[in-house]
Copies of this chain bind each other. A is one copy, B any other.
Amino acid sequence: MRAIVAHAAMDLRVDEFDDVRPGPGEVLIRLAVGGICGTDLHYYKHGGFGPIKLREPMILGHEVSGRVAELGEGVKGLAVGELVAILPSRPCGDCRYCLEGLPNHCLNMRFYGSAMPFPHIQGAFREQLVVEARQCIPAGGLSAGEAAMAEPLSVALHATRRAGDLLGKRVLITGSGPIGALCILAARRAGAREIVVTDLADNALKYSGKVGADLTINVADNPSALEGYAADKGYFDVLYECTGSPVALTSGMAALRPRGVIMQLGLGGDMEIPMMMLTAKELDLRGSFRFHEEFAVAVDLMCKGLIDVKPLITHSMPLDDALTAFRTAEDRSQAMKIQIEFS
């Protein structure tokens, strides 16, 4: 079988591996679709990000769906041929954070395609994948592409839960990439009354409009438009910061009301923040990291038609064109979510 491997910065290859078989309690998945995440792009382009660096070749990918190919001994409730979304979060279930109900902070997490520990946790962009049965979330009624969106949608749902009650709230999102756009869907599903999105790129903002933003603002064209809007229409209750840019964070904070909440999703480096504004307005800047139980919720909400991610899947390319897919994903002037077809 083949898999997509980052050997080093700018050295991405489709390599051959031996076939695999499921053990007891496990399931063999024939991968259907894998979506390229910003993290995958960082490994591809820079060999990592911040303090996290590739030290050995690593299969990329964690946004995947597939079809059940074979059931290991003792597995029930799944049928061969069934489409499933694959939960990439594999906490140990034994450490103190797992037992506190915080599996995303598991001390022994094995999240697909992550170079944080060494040896690295190999990823899921492979034609065959053996998973535990509980990682398989049936996705009947969805396309394989939609099922592969369960992962980034879970990131948005997790951040939305951490933002607290959104019913009737006014929401600002800085950054209209895939995560920002999925936060529109999550915030709307959670009852947001108004959703405004800013970005520097018209193409990105176009997709925010397609998934329901009430207003999109290109702050490259018009840096002061956000400030004017907030002063005129009212300050926002919640900011999802999805850029990692200090300028976006600061202008977003200025558009928040006292006691406003900032969900920080954009992964940048160190960021300079206007601390007096944070203090005087009693803002609340919260990190959000991955997800866990939101994954099954994400699949369910899509299956029931309560969230529709289809407008965000802009490109789908065969495994043979993996490198082209990664290059396309880099280009914000045309890409939103790029997916690779494994079968």
- Cβ–Cβ contact A280 & B289, under 8 A: yes
Contact across chains for A278 and B285 when beta carbons are under 8 A apart: yes
CB proximity of A304 to chain B, nearest CB, Å: 8
Measured CA separation A168–B306 after assembly (Å) = 11
Chain A 270-294 interface mask (CB, 8 Å, partner B; 1/0): 1111111011111111111100011
Q: In this assembly, does A228 line the interface, its C-beta being within 8 Å of a C-beta of chain B?
A: no
For residue A94, CB closer than 8 A to chain B, the reply is yes
Are B284 and A284 touching (Cβ within 8 A)?
Answer: yes
Interface size range of chain A in the complex? 35 or more
Find out whether the CB atom of B285 lies under 8 angstroms from the CB atom of A285.
Answer: yes
Partner of A284, one of B103, B286, B300: B286
Which of A7-15, A18-26, A188-196, A321-329 is found at the contact surface with chain B?
Answer: A188-196
Binding site for B on A (CB under 8 A): 50-51, 93-94, 97-105, 157, 160-162, 164-168, 186, 188-191, 193, 214, 244, 258-259, 264-265, 267-276, 278-289, 293-294, 297, 300-301, 304, 306
25 A-B pairs in the complex with CB atoms less than 8 angstroms apart: A51-B276, A98-B99, A99-B99, A105-B282, A161-B167, A164-B165, A165-B190, A167-B186, A167-B297, A168-B293, A193-B304, A193-B306, A214-B304, A264-B279, A268-B275, A270-B273, A270-B275, A272-B273, A279-B289, A280-B287, A280-B289, A284-B286, A284-B287, A285-B285, A285-B286
